[in-house]
Amino acid sequence: MKTGIKIALSITLLSSLSFAGEQFAMSDSDRAMYTDMLENNPADLMISNGEELLEEYCGGDAGVAAFFNISEDDLPAYIAGFPRYLKEFKQVVTVSQALQGLMSKNTHKPFKLKSSDMFDMSAYVKTLANGEKSNIDVNADKYIKEAFVLGEKTYMTARGGRGLSCNSCHSADIVGAVLRTQPLPDLTSKGVAVAATWPAYRMTKSSLRTLPRRFQGCMKNALLKVIPLGSPEMVALEVYLTHEAKGTEVAIPGLKR
């Protein structure tokens, strides 16, 4: 992974190579390694760990389907619709929070949202939706409507030591511009698949990361106070960006710089 850490590429970056020019050109060997990783995503290991954890603590795929009161056949499309409002939780929940509920139902102490076990297990559950179209419905009920509005607000709120918002770096007019050698990815055009590609393996972190964990990375780098996983604002940010990915195909685990 050492050299993997060094190579400055991501799918975003790859696609921007054509216009970003010399600065981002990569050597043939780096390109070969990247292509190899695309086929052999290191996150596959973590995801099989997640599958085992799910078996042990949640009764596997069947246990999850039963918990949601749906058939196993309907599970992929159902998972592709998270975050969603669940009345048993009295709020809009992510897959990870739903799994905390299921663990507790099965009399296990729920994994912490930031634990690598929860990353692995929720990532596995999300892979069940692979091939499905991301189908979050932000008009399904008043709770998810509120979450979407809160998500957009959180995304637009400038704060922190440098007075930046998510939108400062990810608004449509600067997509593809370069921030310290990194092309800025497009997150909010309709049909942008970003949210459908997380959890992903991050080569610079040599680990599996979730979308909210990625948000925290940007907050930390840009000096916004890092808000905790599972907070209403964090869930709302996920709702907001997942809505942008609606209709794109779920492809997990992603592979990111």
Partner 1 sequence: MKILLLEDEYSLRISIVEFLMKKTIMISLLVSTSLFAADYSSVIEKPNASELIQKDLLPPAKVFTMPSNCVTNDKDSIARGAFIFHNLNGGKVKGKLPKGLAKKNANGKSKQYGNCVACHNIEGAVGAGNIGPDLTGYKAIFVDSGVRDNQFVYQKIADPRVENANTHMTVNLTTKLFNEQEICDMTSYIVSER
User: Among residues 6, 162, 190, 220, which is the contact residue for partner 1, using CB under 8 A?
Assistant: 162
> Measured between alpha carbons, how far is 58 from 203 in angstroms, rounded to an integer?
30
- What type of residue sits at position 99? L
| 158 contacts partner 1 (rule: CB under 8 A) | yes
Q: Smallest distance from the beta carbon of 40 to partner 1, in angstroms?
A: 30
Interface residues for partner 1 in 195-224 (CB under 8 A)? Answer: 223-224
CB of 108 or CB of 153, closer to ligand HEC = 153
| 250 contacts partner 1 (rule: CB under 8 A) | no
> Measured between alpha carbons, how far is 176 from 15 in angstroms, rounded to an integer?
10
Q: Smallest distance from the beta carbon of 214 to ligand HEC, in angstroms?
A: 5
User: Among residues 13, 169, 203, 239, which is the contact residue for partner 1, using CB under 8 A?
Assistant: 169
Paired sense of beta strands 200-202 and 254-256, if any: parallel
What is the SS3 assignment for 8? coil
CB of 110 or CB of 212, closer to ligand HEC = 212
CB of 106 or CB of 130, closer to partner 1 = 106
CB of 130 or CB of 204, closer to partner 1 = 204
Alpha carbon distance, N-terminus to C-terminus of the chain: 12
| 234 contacts partner 1 (rule: CB under 8 A) | yes
* Cα–Cα–Cα angle for 51, 56, 62, rounded to 5 degrees: 70
Cβ-based neighbour number of residue 185 at 10 Å = 19
Q: Smallest distance from the beta carbon of 248 to partner 1, in angstroms?
A: 26
Q: Smallest distance from the beta carbon of 106 to partner 1, in angstroms?
A: 11
The angle that helices 43-58 and 116-127 make with each other, rounded to 10 degrees, is: 90
CB of 164 or CB of 208, closer to ligand HEC = 164
Q: Which of ligand HEC, partner 1, none does 207 bind, CB closer than 5 to 8 A by kind?
A: none
Read off the DSSP letter of residue 244.
H
> Measured between alpha carbons, how far is 99 from 16 in angstroms, rounded to an integer?
37
CB-based contact 183:189 (threshold 8 Å): no
Q: Smallest distance from the beta carbon of 245 to ligand HEC, in angstroms?
A: 10
CB-based contact 200:255 (threshold 8 Å): yes
> Measured between alpha carbons, how far is 41 from 229 in angstroms, rounded to an integer?
25
Binding mask 34-73 for partner 1 (x = CB under 8 A): ----------------------------------------
CB-based contact 91:215 (threshold 8 Å): no
Task: State the residues that interact with partner 1 by CB under 8 A.
Answer: 88-91, 93, 97, 100-101, 104-105, 110, 112-113, 154, 157-164, 168-169, 171, 174, 177-182, 184, 223-225, 227-234
